[in-house]
Every structure is written in structure tokens, then in C-alpha cells.
Amino acid sequence: MSETVILAAVWFAQIALALAMCLCAWRMIAGPRAQDRILALDALYLCAMLQLLAFGIRTGRTIYFEAALIIGMLGFVATVALAKFLMRGEVIE
Amino acid sequence: MSVHLADVPLWAAILAAAFLVLGAGLTLLGTVGLVRLPTFYQRIHAPTLGTSWGAGGMVMASMIIFTAASGRLVLHEILIGIFVTVTTPVTLMMLGRSALYRDRSEKNPDVPLSVKSDETNDDPAQGAS
């Protein structure tokens, strides 16, 4: 019984997050400017991280947690580097 | 480490399911805002729904399920929650500053060229008010 409840919730969460990733991808393609694309990439990183968490709950393994942590860190570094690039024209001065 | 979902008691499963639905639903709402809001400075607010309660709800659900299924306290998911909460303001402030810099350097009419307190900072008449 409890397995059914959790699996139904994970199913809903994965569908919702996949839809959210599609919306982020649409904003990243449509633009209109570079900062919109970077913002959409940041949101896409977040959705991918949450998708991995949901996948970890579904399979009952904790190994996906480490992958989610790494994706979160990469997303932070990537967004900071891209914002710095927009500001200055180069990442490391 | 691997757990079986059938070992989770029903109350914990319902609680975790509520957190899962809340987290994923709020993340979806945030990206709907990202698509629908008209200007960049409004759009930058929308995905923070996903980084605050979206990530918080999913992390909470994961902690509840792994704690209830393995029979001991599993809290390592809170690392993700803390990390996302700390890094989101940093990234979005940098992105907002760079967008403002770009708009100002192109003399975009939608963005004020300077904030009033910047230019009148050393004016004692303005400072007193």
C-alpha cells in the first residue's frame, strides 16, 4: 500500500519535472537575450537535480543523491561563470 | 545502500507523497512563470519558487522515505537543500547585476541609467530626508 502511494507521487513528480524541463528548454531556445538563456539554463540544472532525487526515491538507492549533489554544484559554477562572462567579457581576469 | 519502499509505514508514505507533489508542483509553477512573465527582471523571480520550496519539498520527501525505510536517521539529503539555498541568491544577484549592466550600457529606456541614491549620496539635503 505505502509503496503504491510513494510510486504514484514519484510518477507525478517526474512528469511535472519533465514538463518543467521542457518549459525551461523553450525559454532557453526562445531567448530573447543572453541573460534569459542563462536563467533558463540555471532553472534547467535545478530541474535535472530534482529529477535525479525523484529517481533515487523510486529505485530506493542513495547513489543518485551524489549525482544530484554534483549537478547542483556544476550548475552553480556554470551560472556564476556565465554571468561573469556577460558582465566583463571574460571569466577569469 | 538500498532500501525497499514497501518497508515504509503508511503515514510516512503519505507525508512523503505530499512533500513530493508539493515540491514538483512548485517547481513546475516556477518554470511556467519563467515562460510567461514579460520582462527579464520579472522572470528572474520565478525559478526561485523551485529553489526554495521545490528543492525543499523533494529533499524533505527523500529524507522521510530513506529514514522510515532503513530504520535509522538519514539526513544527508539536507546537504542539497542547504547548498541550493545558499547558492541561488549569489547566482541570481550576479545575473541580475550583469543584465542591468548590459541594459544600461545600451541605454535601454526601460532601465533607469542610475539609481537616485547613487548620484545624491554626498548631498546633505538629500541625505537628511
B5 and A61 Cβ atoms separated by less than 8 Å:
no
Mean pLDDT of chain B: 84
Q: What percent of chain B has pLDDT over 90?
A: 38
Q: Which DSSP letter does residue B51 get?
A: I
Q: For residue B102, what pLDDT is reported? A: 86
* Measured distance CA(B87)–CA(B67) in Å, rounded: 26
Angle at B93 between CA B48 and CA B82, to 5 degrees: 50
Average pLDDT over residues B99-106: 85
Nearest alpha-carbon partner for B94 in A73, A84, A74: A84
The verdict on whether omega for the bond into residue A32 sits within 30 degrees of 0, i.e. cis, is yes
Q: Test B54 with A49 for CB contact under 8 angstroms.
A: no
Give the pLDDT of residue B55: 92
Please give the torsion angle defined by the CA atoms of residues B96, B99, B103 and B104, in that order, rounded to the nearest 10 degrees: 60
pLDDT in tens, B28-66: 999 999 999 988 889 999 989 989 999 999 999 999 988
Instruction: Round the CA-based radius of gyration of chain A to a whole number and report it.
Output: 16
The torsion angle over the Cα atoms of residues B22, B23, B26 and B31, rounded to 10 degrees, is -150
The tens place of each residue's pLDDT in chain A, 93 residues long, gives: 888 888 999 999 999 999 999 999 999 998 788 889 999 999 999 999 999 999 998 888 888 888 999 998 999 999 999 988 888 877 666
- Residue in B10, B65, B66 closest to A1 by CB: B10
Which chain A residues are Cβ-neighbours of B90 within 8 angstroms?
Answer: 76, 80
Q: What's residue B10's pLDDT?
A: 84
By the 10 Å C-beta count (0-12 exposed, 13-18 middle, 19+ buried), A27 is classed as buried
Q: Is the pLDDT of residue B22 over 90?
A: yes
Question: What residue type is assigned to position A40 of the chain?
Answer: A
Provide the pLDDT for residue B58. 92
> What pLDDT is attached to residue B101?
86
Shortest distance between the Cα of A93 and any Cα of chain B, in A, equals 16
Distance CA B39, CA B23 (A): 25
- In sequence order, which ranges of A31-62 are alpha helices (DSSP H)? 34-59
CATH 1.10.287 fits A2-88, yes or no: yes
Query: If pLDDT is split at 50, 70 and 90, which confidence band does B123 have?
Result: very low
Query: Would you state the cell numbers that stand for residue B26, as one nine-digit string?
Result: 512548485
What is the average pLDDT across B85-98? 91
pTM to 2 decimals?
Answer: 0.85
Q: What pLDDT shows up at residue B117? A: 58
Q: Which of B55, B12, B8, B1 is nearest to A54 (CA)?
A: B55
- The helix/strand/coil state of A61 is strand
* Percent of chain B whose predicted confidence (pLDDT) is above 70: 88
User: Which three cell numbers, joined as nine digits, stand for B20?
Assistant: 513530493
- Which of A62, A88, A90 has the highest number of chain B CBs within 10 A, making it the mutation to test binding with B? A62
CB-nearest partner of A83 from B5, B69, B98: B98
* Whether ipTM exceeds 0.95: no
Q: So what's the pLDDT on residue B128?
A: 44
For residue B3, what pLDDT band results from cuts at 50, 70 and 90? confident
Q: What is the pLDDT of residue A61?
A: 85
The reported pLDDT for the residue numbered B12 is 86
Separation of alpha carbons B61 and B80, rounded Å? 13
For chain A, first and last CA: distance in Å?
A: 58
H helices of chain A, where? Answer: 2-30, 34-59, 63-88
Q: What is the pLDDT of residue B119?
A: 53
